[in-house]
Chain A
């Protein structure tokens, strides 16, 4: 009650704390959600299309991996292999678009991309993702130094794939000078995955084969994204913390007289600390809710921004929301700790000294 009244009586300073928490919480929400979204999309792409992934040995990123596509024939002969396909992932300027994802896929995987117009690409042809097609309306498109005929457009459940180009793996091989970035293998039953994995490894000394589950967990790029997200979130947290601490210090300083009155009236130091914590808690929780709503709005808008070509996508999980809530409460607690401590130490004698005649 007292805390609510104190907040409403200091609207500007309350607004400063509220804004500071909202901005930091929103930054933490967005960076965590976007990184989770990017990781989620790529993981989904890999996990849903196979149980085993084969890449070049010792290569940190699938973009630089080169695996011999002829392995597909040998893999298909391994018992319990249901299907296998090769893929090249790369990035290149496409028409006037400075950079777009290029997916070179073997013919048996083209059906993964749902046709919304036209037909699947033959040699010398490309299929444009729905988002990219809006920006490239022509019948042909220049990729690298070569011009390709546009055979149609596709949609995909994975956001960033819609901002890319699908082509025949042979054309992609010429474009990026490689055989395949990776091979994905599906087993007929999950219990045979390990047996298949053991049979694949001896086929080529230059390959690494992992279950897609393990690959996603160990993939360096994901770790880099996660760590970068953690660093940026920590910075946002620190900025929020400093914001709360500095505004709370200002508030405590301007309300010294009030704390002196409370001390003179026999209110304990704990009473003052508790009330200041309650004030920050009220602001933190409302700022958290406000930031959550804003973040959900922004995340909902992101996939519809053509300029981003579907590459920036956010996924806000319950665990992220709870983690950010805990971070917000911790930030509020930490930011209020020292100012509240000093407020509680206000010497009521100042009330007599101020009136001293």
Chain B
């Protein structure tokens, strides 16, 4: 599914990732853990194609992610993102935020997905009219709408209380059970209860 070979990354002269190699399989729930500055966000950015590694090769579903790859289409078709601060567009309603991300043929599934996540009644509301937990569920719906093969989540519960955090983890686990691969970077040790694989990082290396 994902094969990282000797991935290294530099910010200027500073090396933040040191020749990392690992594999992630279809349907894995990978917990990327580590302290601040351990390199987990940089690794997540590289795995999610948002950042090109300085060295090494990244294969996703057998395709090498290199210069010339149409990343826009690749991301829209294969990848879902959930960020710490939900990053919903504040002038679009809940429905429109999801519709913006949805592929044309998936738009018909929006209401069903909102129903499944228990937020259908919020469809016409705007992000500033709903709670933090509800916003993160909308962000989750946006990540799931195209039924991506991989979801990358960066501290998805970082700004949520424990009740809402558990709800988000359960919803993500549900997606994993359906065959989606999930790579989740977090400080929250609770994630380990849901993940089937943990990558622990320190100083840019896998422990």
Asked if A352 meets B100 with Cβ closer than 8 Å, knowing A265-B142, A266-B77, A357-B158, the reply is: no
In the assembled complex, the Cα of A264 lies from the Cα of B80 at a distance in Å of: 9
Contacting residues, chain A, for B81 (C-beta < 8 A): 264-265, 351
A351 touching B83 in the complex, CB below 8 Å, given contacts A5-B92, A258-B89, A357-B158: yes
Contact with A along B156-193 (1 / 0, CB 8 A): 00100000000000000000000000000001000000
Residues of A within 8 A of B76 (CB): 265-267
B72 at the interface (CB under 8 A from A): yes
- Assuming A266-B73, A349-B45, is B92 touching A355 (CB within 8 A)? no
Cβ contact within 8 Å between B75 and A352:
no
Decide if A124 is an interface residue (CB 8 Å cutoff): no
Supposing A262-B100, A266-B72, A266-B77 touch, asked if A355 and B91 sit within 8 A by C-beta, the answer is no
**How far is A176 from B44 in the complex, measured between Cα atoms in Å?**
89
A214 at the interface (CB under 8 A from B): no
Whether A265 touches B41, Cβ cut-off 8 Å, given contacts A352-B154, A355-B83, A355-B154, is: no
A217 at the interface (CB under 8 A from B): no
B21 at the binding interface (Cβ < 8 Å): no
Tell me whether A349 and B50 are in contact (CB under 8 A). Answer: yes
**Residues of chain B from 83 to 123 with CB closer than 8 A to chain A in the complex:** 83-85, 87-92, 96, 100-101
* Alpha-carbon separation in the docked complex, A76 to B162 (Å): 106
Contacts of B41 in A (CB 8 A): 352-353, 355-357
Residue B74 interfacial (CB < 8 Å):
yes
B151 at interface by CB-CB < 8 Å: no
Asked, given contacts A2-B100, A6-B91, A357-B158, whether A267 binds B72 with beta carbons under 8 Å apart, the answer is yes
Q: Which chain A residues (257-284) contact chain B, with CB distance < 8 Å?
A: 257-258, 260-269
* Shortest Cβ gap from A317 to chain B (Å): 40
Q: List residues of chain A with CB within 8 A of the CB of B130.
A: none
Task: Identify which of A264, A266, A269, A357 gathers the most chain B CB atoms within 10 Å of its CB.
Answer: A266
Partner of A2, one of B75, B92, B154: B92
Point out the residues of chain B lying under 8 angstroms from A261, CB to CB: 87-89
Contacts of B73 in A (CB 8 A): 266
Q: How distant is the Cα of A261 from the Cα of B138 in the complex, in angstroms? A: 14
Are A357 and B187 in contact, CB atoms less than 8 angstroms apart?
A: yes
Q: Is A213 an interface residue (CB 8 A)?
A: no
Interface string of B18-55 (1 = CB under 8 A from A): 00000000000000000010000100110000110000
Q: Which B residues touch A257, using CB under 8 A?
A: 87
Q: Which residues of A contact B92 (CB under 8 A)?
A: 2, 5
Contact yes or no, A5 B91, CB < 8 A: yes
**Do residues A351 and B87 form an inter-chain contact, with CB atoms below 8 A?**
yes
A352 touches which of B50, B89, B187 (Cβ 8 Å): B50
Q: Which A residues are CB-close (under 8 A) to B96?
A: 2, 5
Chain A contacts for B89, CB-based, 8 A: 258, 261
Asked if A8 contacts B91 (CB within 8 A), the reply is yes
Cβ-defined contact, B100 with A266, below 8 A: no
- B79 on the A face (CB < 8 A): yes
Residues of B within 8 A of A267 (CB): 72, 76, 100
Q: In the docked arrangement, what's the CA distance between A150 and B36, Å? A: 95
Contact B72 A352 (CB under 8 A): no
B79, B88, B155: the one within 8 Å of A357 (CB): B155
A9-B83 in contact (CB<8A): no
Most buried by B among A258, A265, A269, A355: A265
Q: Roughly how many angstroms separate A76 CA and B83 CA in the complex, as a whole number?
A: 93
Do residues B75 and A265 form an inter-chain contact, with CB atoms below 8 A?
yes
Cross-chain contact of B85 among A9, A265, A355 (Cβ < 8 A): A355
Is there a chain B Cβ closer than 8 Å to A354's Cβ? yes
Q: Does A95 touch B at the CB level, under 8 Å?
A: no
**Is A348 interfacial (CB 8 A cutoff)?**
yes
A204 smallest CB distance to B (angstroms)? 76
Please, how many angstroms separate the alpha-carbon atoms of A60 and B31 in the complex?
87
Chain A nearest CB: distance from B101 CB in Å?
A: 4
Which residue on chain A has the smallest CB distance to residue B70?
A: A268
- Interchain nearest-CB distance for B65 vs A (Å): 14
Residues of B within 8 A of A (CB): 36, 41, 44-45, 50-51, 71-77, 79, 81, 83-85, 87-92, 96, 100-101, 142, 154-155, 158, 187
Q: 8 tightest CB-CB pairs across the interface, nearest first? A: A266-B76, A9-B91, A355-B84, A266-B75, A265-B101, A356-B41, A349-B50, A268-B72
Give me 8 A-to-B residue pairs in the complex whose CB atoms sit less than 8 angstroms apart, sorted by A's number: A2-B92, A2-B100, A261-B89, A263-B72, A267-B72, A351-B87, A352-B41, A357-B158
Q: What 9 additional pairs, Cβ within 8 angstroms, besides A5-B96, A351-B83, A355-B85?
A: A8-B91, A9-B91, A265-B142, A266-B74, A347-B50, A349-B51, A351-B81, A351-B85, A357-B158
Seen from chain A, the residues whose Cβ lies within 8 Å of a Cβ on chain B are: 2, 5-6, 8-9, 257-258, 260-269, 347-349, 351-357
